[in-house]
Structure 1
């Protein structure tokens, strides 16, 4: 770690400690006195309240069901997101406005799917609210508590006893390392082997993920999707061209993602021209190395956009270590893994929790030439069966379109939201 990075991290840690102390002293005692309404639910998306991932689709499912008797509000730090939701006739508030702060102090439950929800003192305005964490993926990399206890070999000192517990105490102080009321799981396997180790939670309900319903029936589904790219891809599909989704994971180490230097980019575009493919790239929002990707048949999605409405368009997926491939298994289409730097990744970026080979149901390649040849060859029946087996392990065969209904049912059983009136229904859109 460079001296500048160390100094930046130190300043950030000090600021978070003082922010946490101020929150506990000034905000939490007041928020604890405000009565909460069980029929009010706040939803806070990733980053600064993006309209993406599981919180987006949970919000859509609940907000469009007029029979559940609930008031649900998307709380965001992004005015453009709030406007988009409001324009469709649903509720959104911009934090930290007084309205949004008051709603956080009054709502009975909050649903999140990432780590940023606690920031800017939101955690303290939500004292005594029921906290439900969806998280944002299932894969094979360690997350949260499990990651902190098992850092990659290059960072092992951070997992030592004398460093780990001060880290945990600091994170608890400002709101990250807390005990949730519920952490949502996709299957028994992931509950027992991932989420029970990664989070402190009173409950671990198995409901599946709302984003994996892949319905795209409501205008809200397309908010924050890359509409420009969608329209281009519709034209490509009508011309009988095959769409390939490319989703590299984010690396903390510098470099061009997936070896996409100018020469390789040119080769990919020529390959697509020759064989009737269109490559659709979705880089992590923090990734800075994908800006140079461009070509007649190479399409780069807005990194902050929601890719899930576009996944059903894709004929196959290419990734390295991104957990999006697990959700893509539900579409029962080929997955290819480009992993030229496996040893470097697990030693410097993220510890792998499971055996990589057993958890990746698709052929592995160390370079683009081999991967492109593999796409032309197609996958074998062996990989098709491996996909089906892993999909069953990851999702227990549950219809993902029912996940919001199941979560609301669980919350009612716990008394966190009001029981349904006998004359009302219990289904979402």
Structure 2
């Protein structure tokens, strides 16, 4: 069983094809939004083994309680520690410096990470041991290697010959799926220093595009620059990470997407005019955010201009890179993250005396897990099938 939010969250969407290929049981996709979106994706990508089930149903609750294996991105009826007979995998929705709150009701067997820097933090946050955190990369990173087709560029109204710079800000004013609204800072579109941004980006050969967070309530169109929403990407049949993989550079702040993007070795800058306020409202999980960032920090529109000019002139300019910071973050390699995760999970299952679920052959080398765990007598009780 898989559960994602938003429905087309990349960590589930990119995992599904390999689950279909490697898992022998039935697959259920629990969706909290419009089931038609998930069914359209299943049909378009030829995944007939995947059955879409609305989250607000008794069947979804039953599946959550009995499924042999569960993958989720934001928690799903997970306030109780799963029994040893079940494998519950917290894919989560990325890594990064934002503090994770309200995680006490998100329990799992395993947690996934895409960056060494946050491996221990995720273990502590979600109440698992560090060896239960799989450093395999986020499954969604597979899409970074799929360049957009000419047809997809056309659907988005973008020129593939331009330097495409994506701006992925985290939300200052947000609203979640339950309608709860909160404010961590002033909306970026109201900042006076961005009034000249339209003029800054009006240069031949450059496209600056804002992709807001799904929970963002800001109206970036007021800045006079291009905005692409979740709906725009869905209508164009473009995954966010396909768009990222087709870009030249990124501007972000505390979004988890920049951590995954590091694997491409492309320029990343950080627009953080309100870093002190974010530290006090949102909270960071690192002592000093500015010291870990693997790219220039942009404080105003002048800094943005300098960065865009450098990217337009030479996107591989060493001056745009921070190799020491990149190495310190320890981003997982890009490519085949779903299969790395499924292989890792099969080894994990064997080490805890359970049967592997995804068809991996037993490793020829000794397990990388602790001898104490390997020494346990294997259990011969069958896991609930959930089918």
TM-score (norm 1): 0.66
1:405 maps onto 2:326 in alignment: no
1:182 maps onto 2:110 in alignment: yes
- Aligned partner of 2:56 among 91, 96, 104: 96
Give the structure with the higher percent helix. Answer: 1
Query: 2:126 maps to what in 1?
Result: 199
Instruction: Check conservation: 1:138, 1:323, Cα contact below 8 A.
Output: yes
- Aligned partner of 1:71 among 12, 26, 34: 26
1:371 maps onto 2:304 in alignment: yes
Give, in angstroms, the shift of residue 72 of structure 1. 2.4
Separation of aligned partners in 1, 2:292 and 2:189: 20
Separation of aligned partners in 1, 2:184 and 2:334: 37
Give, in angstroms, the shift of residue 259 of structure 1. 4.6
Q: Residue 349 and residue 188 in structure 1: after superposition, are their counterparts in 2 closer, same or farther (change >3 A)?
A: closer
Instruction: Check conservation: 2:96, 2:118, Cα contact below 8 A.
Output: no
Separation of aligned partners in 1, 2:94 and 2:167: 17
- What is the correspondence of 1:102-251 to structure 2 with a 5 Å cutoff? 102-115=62-75, 117-118=76-77, 129-144=86-101, 176-178=105-107, 180-192=108-120, 194-201=121-128, 203-214=132-143, 230-233=153-156, 235-237=158-160, 240-251=161-172
Separation of aligned partners in 2, 1:235 and 1:188: 35
Separation of aligned partners in 1, 2:298 and 2:206: 19
Q: Residue 123 and residue 109 in structure 1: after superposition, are their counterparts in 2 closer, same or farther (change >3 A)?
A: farther
SS of corresponding position for 2:207: strand
Q: Residue 363 and residue 395 in structure 1: after superposition, are their counterparts in 2 closer, same or farther (change >3 A)?
A: closer
Give, in angstroms, the shift of residue 142 of structure 1. 2.3
1:43 maps onto 2:30 in alignment: no
SS of corresponding position for 1:184: strand
Instruction: Check conservation: 2:166, 2:208, Cα contact below 8 A.
Output: yes
Give, in angstroms, the shift of residue 405 of structure 1. 3.4
Separation of aligned partners in 1, 2:298 and 2:125: 30
Equivalent pairs, count: 331
Give, in angstroms, the shift of residue 260 of structure 1. 5.5
Instruction: Check conservation: 1:253, 1:348, Cα contact below 8 A.
Output: yes
- Aligned partner of 1:81 among 11, 32, 37: 37
1:307 maps onto 2:235 in alignment: no
* Structure 1 unaligned regions, length at least 5: 1-41, 149-170, 423-429
SS of corresponding position for 1:395: coil
SS of corresponding position for 2:14: helix
SS of corresponding position for 2:135: coil
Give, in angstroms, the shift of residue 199 of structure 1. 1.3
SS of corresponding position for 1:212: helix
Instruction: Check conservation: 1:244, 1:314, Cα contact below 8 A.
Output: yes
- Aligned partner of 2:258 among 309, 317, 325: 325
Separation of aligned partners in 2, 1:288 and 1:177: 26
1:420 maps onto 2:347 in alignment: no
Give, in angstroms, the shift of residue 233 of structure 1. 4.5
Separation of aligned partners in 2, 1:342 and 1:418: 44
